[in-house]
Amino acid sequence: MNQSDTEGERSVEPVISSADGPPRTSLSEYVVQVLRDRLATGLLAPGEHLRETELAEELDVSRGPIREALAMLEAEGAIEIRRHRGAFVSVLTTEDVDEVHTLREAIEVLAAERAATRMTAEHIAELDRILAAMKVTSGSVEPQEAVRLDLSFHDVMYEAADHERLRRVWRSIRSQVSFFLYTRNVNFPDFPTVGFPEHNQLRDALCSGDPAHARAAAASHLSGAYTRLSQLDLPHRSEIPTARRHRSR
């Protein structure tokens, strides 16, 4: 994130389309962002084969940045690279859900605790802007839009926490959280009903100035999505090919 951006602007990560073409910044980062967006929106399905040659041609880059991007996504757990077979979108398992949830909870309660005493008028205004968008999602909302709003809200909280290493950890799992939220929203399309009230409760806790209250609210907030994902009929890691099970080497 550029320090010259306003705090509100930094809280929302834009969606990048391959139609935009490669930017002037790192080509591998551009490829990573395109693939993250496709993972978050379900355009790339679990188990799907990611072919270097096809991606390079589509995104108008050489295969070098493609390989670098795939390596970064493998480190995040979003894809797996199998020897002599190539890259594949990771398959969500019950262990993945548990691991990402417990890691996210550990960092999110700290972020909420710190943010409670560091919220600025700009942070609050950005949270309220996102909440207003959530509130008008009546009837139905596309799963990817629900993910965008959800993550944008939490980006503001991590920004307000004013802890660079904490933000780095959040960014390292953000794409996995995106995928999990998308899966949750597809299978439990209740975001128009629960999205606004649940995030509004967290907003009030963050603005309370009470770190203990904010910490408890963050833990409670995460429990809903975890409960819903836990209800899905997901495979266990032991049921996935060996290459997948050893990706966290």
What are the tens digits of pLDDT across the range 21-51? 554 458 998 998 899 878 767 788 888 999 9
Per-residue confidence (pLDDT) for residue 1, from 0 to 100: 43
Bridge-based pairing state of the strands 86-89 and 49-50? antiparallel
If asked whether residues 158 and 168 sit together in one domain, one would say yes
Sign of CA dihedral 97, 180, 226, 109: positive
Residue 3 lies in a domain: no
Residue 164 lies in a domain: yes
If asked whether residues 115 and 168 sit together in one domain, one would say yes
Nearest to 152 by CA among 174, 135, 168, 119: 174
User: Residue 148: enclosing H or E segment and its boundaries?
Assistant: helix 143-161
Residue 45 lies in a domain: yes
Neighbours of 142 (CB within 10 A): 13
Per-residue confidence (pLDDT) for residue 94, from 0 to 100: 92
Per-residue confidence (pLDDT) for residue 139, from 0 to 100: 62
If asked whether residues 100 and 176 sit together in one domain, one would say yes
Residue 148 lies in a domain: yes
Sign of CA dihedral 79, 80, 83, 85: negative
Residue 167 lies in a domain: yes
Per-residue confidence (pLDDT) for residue 56, from 0 to 100: 96
Nearest to 32 by CA among 3, 61, 2: 61
If asked whether residues 64 and 139 sit together in one domain, one would say no
Distance CA 206, CA 217 (A): 8
Nearest to 105 by CA among 206, 173, 199, 164: 173
CATH number at residue 42: 1.10.10.10
Residue 5 lies in a domain: no
CATH number at residue 101: 1.20.120.530
Q: Is 79 helix (H, G, I), strand (E, B) or coil?
A: strand
If asked whether residues 221 and 110 sit together in one domain, one would say yes
If asked whether residues 63 and 133 sit together in one domain, one would say no
Per-residue confidence (pLDDT) for residue 3, from 0 to 100: 42
If asked whether residues 226 and 103 sit together in one domain, one would say yes
Distance CA 236, CA 96 (A): 9
Per-residue confidence (pLDDT) for residue 182, from 0 to 100: 81
Q: What is the pLDDT along the chain (249 residues), one digit of tens a residue?
A: 444 444 444 333 444 455 555 544 589 989 988 998 787 677 888 889 999 999 999 999 999 999 999 998 887 778 889 988 999 998 888 998 999 999 999 999 999 999 999 999 999 999 999 999 999 886 678 887 898 999 999 999 999 999 999 999 999 888 788 878 888 888 888 888 899 999 999 999 999 999 999 999 999 999 988 888 888 888 898 887 654 444 443
Cβ atoms of 80 and 44 closer than 8 Å = no
If asked whether residues 142 and 174 sit together in one domain, one would say yes
Distance CA 12, CA 80 (A): 28
> Which residue range(s) make up the domain with 116?
94-230
Cβ atoms of 72 and 112 closer than 8 Å = no
If asked whether residues 133 and 33 sit together in one domain, one would say no
Per-residue confidence (pLDDT) for residue 233, from 0 to 100: 85
Per-residue confidence (pLDDT) for residue 48, from 0 to 100: 94
Per-residue confidence (pLDDT) for residue 104, from 0 to 100: 96
Distance CA 120, CA 141 (A): 30
Number of domains into which the chain is organized: 2
Per-residue confidence (pLDDT) for residue 18, from 0 to 100: 52
If asked whether residues 35 and 113 sit together in one domain, one would say no
Residue 204 lies in a domain: yes
CA of residue 132 relative to chain centroid, distance: 21
If asked whether residues 101 and 212 sit together in one domain, one would say yes
Per-residue confidence (pLDDT) for residue 22, from 0 to 100: 53
Residue 153 lies in a domain: yes
If asked whether residues 173 and 100 sit together in one domain, one would say yes
Sign of CA dihedral 221, 222, 223, 229: positive
